[in-house]
Structure 1
């Protein structure tokens, strides 16, 4: 439990005065002032809140008014779009004029208007073959160019008018050189102003506003009011009136936002559509960013993700509020300043008009009024503080006089305790005229007498403890690590002829056996680096005659450097473990005897297997002779019994053979004669040997061999035995109509021979047991015959040929076993 910092007597008396007299007086005065301040604050807060609500209502009203104005302007554009759509539909269905306008045809198959004759521009993409260009359609739409010119001239928001057809024909006013702006293969129905007007996106066939996009014609960021033109139920094309963002910015810039704010326009999907220059600084955006039109005309480019309010951390809450309400006001941090954002929804398009105002500007007058009220309260508090400063000074002088009368006897008692602390148990008593302090002096003398008695008892107990430790160990030791000094107490010094007192660590280490010294030094190093707190090492230590004795040294860190945490003092004991080491040696000898018994067991197993093979061969031979005499159909039952005897005999014969081979490898590993082996030839031989059994089992064998010669260093007979064993397992554990693959993989220094199957597979938890002898992974009672020794023999042969044996298996998919052997380079074969 933490305790407070001790204070002086003078401070304590002063605090007593404060708590008993001054604080109650201050509380009374404070309560009176608090009542006044609370009443004043309540009135002030009510007035400030009323002013704030009035300011916010004014801001919201300004935004609503401007929203209605913009909505009316956009409504006019929508009406003009409907008019233009209706007249376009009539023109397309009317009688074409006799004269077809003069157009140019580019080498790429694009038909276009080569010069400005005061009308619209024509662009017919090569997405439609030149011979299929509808020239009558061009002639009909020429009649609408006066209307297009009039609409563009009379409405400042309108940037351009256009008609785009299903066959990639573009009729747009004002004129510009379309061949430079549009790609020759422009597929118009793939652009947003087209597909937003189709039957899927516009069932009502009305006017649809697009998102803000980068105009392929080069007018910058814009949005379009589009409407479909149908011929019956066929979408003939789309008309549109473009409004540039620069035009919207001019309209937004004219919005009169109070308190020096600005307005901005946001789409229904919360993307910033129009942002004036002050907003660019607050949002860290550039409204008309530089963009390559060579890229833009080949794909639609919309506003970047930075323009999405819901994607920006500082405006995420504002975006959620706008989505949840058609109008409102919310505080947002923009440009490292608190801003008030009021919004309302434009009814015509579902867009949102936002007014952004610096909160400090809105509430400047309100905050000034609140500050004036606060100043009055501060003046009252200042007067109270000045009064109590004078009163506290008077009380502080009185406290100094009282504390002076108490400090002299208390200092005398402190002196007595200091003398007791350094071992002078009977100090000179201090004089005091205060009864309580005089009693403290007498108690201090009694404490000194008791400490003297306790110190003598502690010294005796310590001496006894050291005697017990010295009788249980060879010695006690302390190691001063920074100074490399070692202090040893106990019988070790006498027994090993070590100097009394302290000795250097180098003197001590010279007595340690050279083979054991690195391990002991490594332990010291780990302790010195702070990696461990305990030290333990076993080593042989030489006596004066040069005879070594086993010692167990154990210790722990007693003292650290407070700054670096590095160990300074390491202390512990030495214990004689010669007897234990003799027991270990005896155990080691017993282990060797057990190993010899195991080898004898192996030899016995080998002998028994040899003895069993002789009668087994006789049984197998007689069974084969009897089977040859049972060709008559009347003896079919006897033939079946003989087949079972032959099958069991062969299986048992194979088991005995593998046991003998495995036992011989365990007792004395074979010395294989390694030589160059042609891998391709050997694998073809193995494939031929198992081909008949593969067909009988209804399986498919695939042999994949490289064209170039490939040789490894191995023993041919053992390598063939390994491959046949792996192929046998692939056949036995495969599925009906399964596949077996025999192939190779090469690397600069090795060749890997692989046998793959599409069989049952092996569970991951069982794969570690595959190469253990007599281990069949739970298939001992299945119809699949086996001994569980084959893979362990293959593993031994692979090791004897300086190779590796491994597997990869997935249950239900199959298994892949491989043997990897050293590859012989062409130079080594010559």
Structure 2
């Protein structure tokens, strides 16, 4: 996912923009933070381009729907109850299909399966090529979920879920997304198929002015930690526009008076059932200074804050990730 040439150019631009009077250390600190924020934004734009292209291809499948239905391999998926190709005995080259028991039109479901079978190879290729994308899928109003990599549907999902009732569907519908464009579910949420806390990128697919499905890429908090946070030796924290911690290093979590970490690390905490988003919100910190810092950075747009709390002095630099309205904080613990 990294674009090395872009990153080198970005670093050069930031270096050249620094004032000659800046200290070397200060320039270096800002350089890395600005580069990371810009790189994340660039990577997110690449994902948007990817899902838009996938959406256009999917629309073309519906434009030739009769052809795809007529030549479909109708034996490719064997539906048992509410699922097909479910783990642990799934074919890893194929998606899993979830068909909730809601009394829907099964003929419409089967047609949707046949039309969209060509998506399996594209879903698989995207997950392989895009390191931060943990799963690719769509949810359709005919009550069909097609998701890659395959997962254990029978043990993970109730048999009668309405796939259109979740934010990874309705945030992409015409009411919430009238522009019919790619849209991010910016606030983290728990993945119903067991991959922990995540964000999603959505792309609606229309045919004959009717919403046929919402495509989605999922990025887990673990993906963000491994792909960005752990690549730096700085004490970093990513928060969203509500002040909730999206990802961060353990030292940063502890320094801002957030709850004690369970299971030793934040990475393990956010994948456990005991994690609560509200416990990791800076506006709800027990420290008045932390709450003020969150207000100054998120609401007032400040890029630097010196936190004096319990005798500790922490210099905090902040950069905004524009595409998600998130903020990367660099905590200099003195």
Q: Are 2:229 and 1:215 aligned?
A: no
**Alpha-carbon distance between aligned partners in 2 of 1:204 and 1:59, rounded to the nearest angstrom:** 39
- Structure 1 segments (4+ residues) deviating >6 Å: 50-54
Match for residue 326 of structure 2?
Answer: 351
**Alpha-carbon distance between aligned partners in 1 of 2:55 and 2:302, rounded to the nearest angstrom:** 33
Cα distance change of structure 1 residues 189 and 87 upon mapping to structure 2, 3 Å threshold: same
Q: Are 2:113 and 1:138 aligned?
A: yes
**Alpha-carbon distance between aligned partners in 2 of 1:280 and 1:323, rounded to the nearest angstrom:** 17
Match for residue 85 of structure 2?
Answer: 113
TM-score, normalised on structure 1? 0.34
The one of 123, 133, 139 aligned to 1:158 = 133
Q: Map Cα deviations across residues 758-787 of structure 1 (whole Å, 9 max, x no partner).
A: xxxxxxxxxxxxxxxxxxxxxxxxxxxxxx
**Alpha-carbon distance between aligned partners in 2 of 1:54 and 1:330, rounded to the nearest angstrom:** 20
Match for residue 252 of structure 1?
Answer: 228
Q: How many residues align?
A: 296
Offset of residue 313 of structure 1: 4.1
**Alpha-carbon distance between aligned partners in 1 of 2:27 and 2:282, rounded to the nearest angstrom:** 24
Match for residue 229 of structure 1?
Answer: 205
Q: Map Cα deviations across residues 439-495 of structure 1 (whole Å, 9 max, x no partner).
A: xxxxxxxxxxxxxxxxxxxxxxxxxxxxxxxxxxxxxxxxxxxxxxxxxxxxxxxxx
Cα distance change of structure 1 residues 232 and 272 upon mapping to structure 2, 3 Å threshold: farther
Cα distance change of structure 1 residues 62 and 131 upon mapping to structure 2, 3 Å threshold: closer
**Alpha-carbon distance between aligned partners in 2 of 1:194 and 1:317, rounded to the nearest angstrom:** 35
**Secondary structure of 1:246 counterpart:** helix
Task: Spell out the pairing of 1:773-812 with structure 2 (5 A cutoff).
Answer: none
**Alpha-carbon distance between aligned partners in 1 of 2:94 and 2:117, rounded to the nearest angstrom:** 8
The one of 205, 216, 221 aligned to 1:240 = 216
**Secondary structure of 2:328 counterpart:** strand
**Alpha-carbon distance between aligned partners in 2 of 1:90 and 1:229, rounded to the nearest angstrom:** 10
**Alpha-carbon distance between aligned partners in 2 of 1:86 and 1:216, rounded to the nearest angstrom:** 27
Offset of residue 154 of structure 1: 1.1
**Alpha-carbon distance between aligned partners in 2 of 1:251 and 1:335, rounded to the nearest angstrom:** 33
> Does the CA-based 8 Å contact 1:111-1:130 persist in structure 2?
no
Match for residue 78 of structure 2?
Answer: 103
**Secondary structure of 1:212 counterpart:** strand
Match for residue 696 of structure 1?
Answer: none
The one of 151, 154, 157 aligned to 1:179 = 154
The one of 62, 80, 83 aligned to 2:32 = 62
Cα distance change of structure 1 residues 262 and 335 upon mapping to structure 2, 3 Å threshold: farther
**Alpha-carbon distance between aligned partners in 2 of 1:83 and 1:332, rounded to the nearest angstrom:** 45
> Does the CA-based 8 Å contact 1:60-1:328 persist in structure 2?
no
**Alpha-carbon distance between aligned partners in 2 of 1:349 and 1:90, rounded to the nearest angstrom:** 29
**Alpha-carbon distance between aligned partners in 1 of 2:310 and 2:182, rounded to the nearest angstrom:** 38
Match for residue 79 of structure 1?
Answer: 49
Cα distance change of structure 1 residues 306 and 54 upon mapping to structure 2, 3 Å threshold: farther
The one of 55, 58, 68 aligned to 1:88 = 58
Task: Spell out the pairing of 1:17-416 with structure 2 (5 A cutoff).
Answer: 55-94=25-64, 95-96=67-68, 97-100=71-74, 101-106=76-81, 110-114=82-86, 115-117=89-91, 118-129=93-104, 131-132=106-107, 134-210=109-185, 211-256=187-232, 261-282=234-255, 283-284=258-259, 286=261, 287=266, 288-289=268-269, 291-292=272-273, 304-314=277-287, 315-326=290-301, 328-333=303-308, 337-358=312-333, 360=334
Cα distance change of structure 1 residues 344 and 142 upon mapping to structure 2, 3 Å threshold: same
> Does the CA-based 8 Å contact 2:181-2:204 persist in structure 1?
yes
**Alpha-carbon distance between aligned partners in 1 of 2:147 and 2:25, rounded to the nearest angstrom:** 47
Cα distance change of structure 1 residues 204 and 185 upon mapping to structure 2, 3 Å threshold: same
> Does the CA-based 8 Å contact 1:181-1:218 persist in structure 2?
yes
Cα distance change of structure 1 residues 334 and 263 upon mapping to structure 2, 3 Å threshold: farther
Q: Which runs of 5+ in 2 are unaligned?
A: 1-19
Offset of residue 223 of structure 1: 0.9
Offset of residue 60 of structure 1: 2.7
**Alpha-carbon distance between aligned partners in 1 of 2:105 and 2:84, rounded to the nearest angstrom:** 11
**Secondary structure of 2:53 counterpart:** helix
Q: Which runs of 5+ in 1 are unaligned?
A: 1-49, 294-301, 361-830
Give the alignment's Cα RMSD to 1 decimal.
Answer: 2.6
**Secondary structure of 2:246 counterpart:** strand
Cα distance change of structure 1 residues 51 and 316 upon mapping to structure 2, 3 Å threshold: farther
Offset of residue 153 of structure 1: 0.6
> Does the CA-based 8 Å contact 2:236-2:329 persist in structure 1?
yes
Q: Map Cα deviations across residues 169-195 of structure 1 (whole Å, 9 max, x no partner).
A: 100001112122111111111111111
> Does the CA-based 8 Å contact 2:104-2:143 persist in structure 1?
no
> Does the CA-based 8 Å contact 2:229-2:248 persist in structure 1?
no
Offset of residue 255 of structure 1: 4.5
Offset of residue 91 of structure 1: 2.1
Task: Spell out the pairing of 1:607-618 with structure 2 (5 A cutoff).
Answer: none
Offset of residue 57 of structure 1: 4.7
**Secondary structure of 2:118 counterpart:** helix
Cα distance change of structure 1 residues 61 and 102 upon mapping to structure 2, 3 Å threshold: closer
